[in-house]
């Protein structure tokens, strides 16, 4: 267990292969401060090197996942010492770095969402590989209503790829929320569950996924993200071919074929 910044972030082991990274400022609906962003990125960098970890569940404490940036803290900081352009750009890149790191993690990332999921909170939810949402979940990026752009921390890249460009345009240009049932309907959420079942459902799905070969799981994630940007169908096939041949050379592939023939559960060793 790892706790930092007065427990604003909590990293726990759900089991030997699954970590839970929890946003833990419930009084502020888990809004991000600059210090919390730094810690979040540091945790993700450490998780990327954790060979025992195969999956990360990202969630929040209390009645909401994340209400975005802590505007009160930002306002107080600006009143005391207004940020320079260079400083603002630095922190913008740190905020955006959270989404970039989540996408690049070798582990599968499952976002378990309840209540408000706003701004940068929505961005990190979109950067997860899978989203499981509680019925209270409400995803929102209303920057356009505040005189800012709807493109924040990768949202303008990720949202069209997850739900299609036309629907993404409408959501970002109006600044309207996506309610939980709509999130499931448009394919943004893999599963819709009651609030009290959220973490259990995320854990169950993650454990089911971990029944598969570690190499196959990690490289399926990599192929999926890379081929969202593939220059052509041919380029996508080339990456799939390379990854498939590498997978076929693992001991786990041999074990999987033997288990299929012998009608038993495979015993994967991650090699």
Q: Which residues contact 1 (CB under 8 A, 6 or more apart)?
A: 10, 11, 12, 13
Average of per-residue pLDDT across 9-20: 95
DSSP result, 202-264 = HHHHHHHHTTS-HHHHHHHHHHHHHHTT-SSHHHHHHHHHHHHHHHHTSHHHHHHHHHHHHTS
Q: Which CATH superfamily is domain 2-209 in?
A: 2-enoyl-CoA Hydratase; Chain A, domain 1 (3.90.226.10)
pTM of the model: 0.91
Average of per-residue pLDDT across 215-226: 94
Average of per-residue pLDDT across 57-70: 94
Q: Are 119 and 99 in contact (CB under 8 A)?
A: no
Instruction: Find where tokens 């400022």 sit.
Output: 25
Which of 43, 37, 34, 48 minimizes the C-alpha distance to 10? 43
Q: Are 124 and 105 in contact (CB under 8 A)?
A: no
Distance CA 12, CA 64 (A): 19
Give percent above pLDDT 90 in the chain: 76
With bands split at pLDDT 50, 70 and 90, how would you rate the model's confidence at 79? low
Instruction: Find where tokens 């998780």 sit.
Output: 47
What's residue 201's pLDDT?
97
pLDDT digits (tens, 9 = 90+) for 162-193: 999 999 999 999 999 999 999 999 999 999 99
User: Percentages helix, strand, coil for the chain, rounded to the nearest 5?
Assistant: 50, 15, 30
């Amino acid at each position: 267990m790892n706790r930092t910044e007065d427990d604003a972030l909590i990293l726990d082991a759900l089991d030997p292969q699954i970590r839970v990274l929890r946003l833990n400022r419930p009084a502020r609906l888990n809004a991000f401060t600059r210090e919390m962003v730094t810690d979040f990125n540091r945790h993700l960098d450490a998780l990327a090197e954790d060979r025992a970890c195969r999956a990360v569940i990202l969630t929040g404490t209390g009645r909401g996942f994340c209400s975005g940036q802590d505007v009160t803290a930002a306002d107080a900081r600006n009143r005391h010492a207004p940020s320079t352009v260079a400083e603002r750009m630095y922190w913008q890149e740190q905020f955006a770095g959270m989404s970039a790191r989540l996408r690049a993690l070798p582990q599968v990332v499952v976002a378990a969402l309840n209540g408000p999921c706003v701004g940068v909170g929505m961005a990190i939810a979109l950067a997860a590989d899978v989203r499981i949402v509680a019925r209270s979940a409400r995803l929102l990026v209303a920057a356009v209503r505040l005189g800012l752009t709807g493109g924040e921390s990768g949202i303008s890249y990720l949202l069209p790829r997850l739900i299609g460009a036309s629907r993404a345009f409408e959501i970002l240009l109006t600044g309207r929320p996506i309610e939980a049932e709509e999130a499931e309907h448009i394919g943004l959420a893999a599963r819709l569950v009651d609030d009290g079942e959220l973490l259990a459902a995320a854990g169950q799905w993650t454990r089911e996924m971990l029944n598969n070969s570690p190499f196959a799981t990690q490289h399926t994630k990599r192929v999926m993200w890379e081929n969202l940007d593939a220059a052509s169908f041919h380029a996508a096939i080339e990456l799939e071919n390379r990854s498939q041949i590498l997978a076929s050379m693992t001991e786990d592939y041999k074990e999987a074929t033997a288990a299929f023939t012998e009608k038993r559960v495979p015993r994967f060793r991650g090699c």
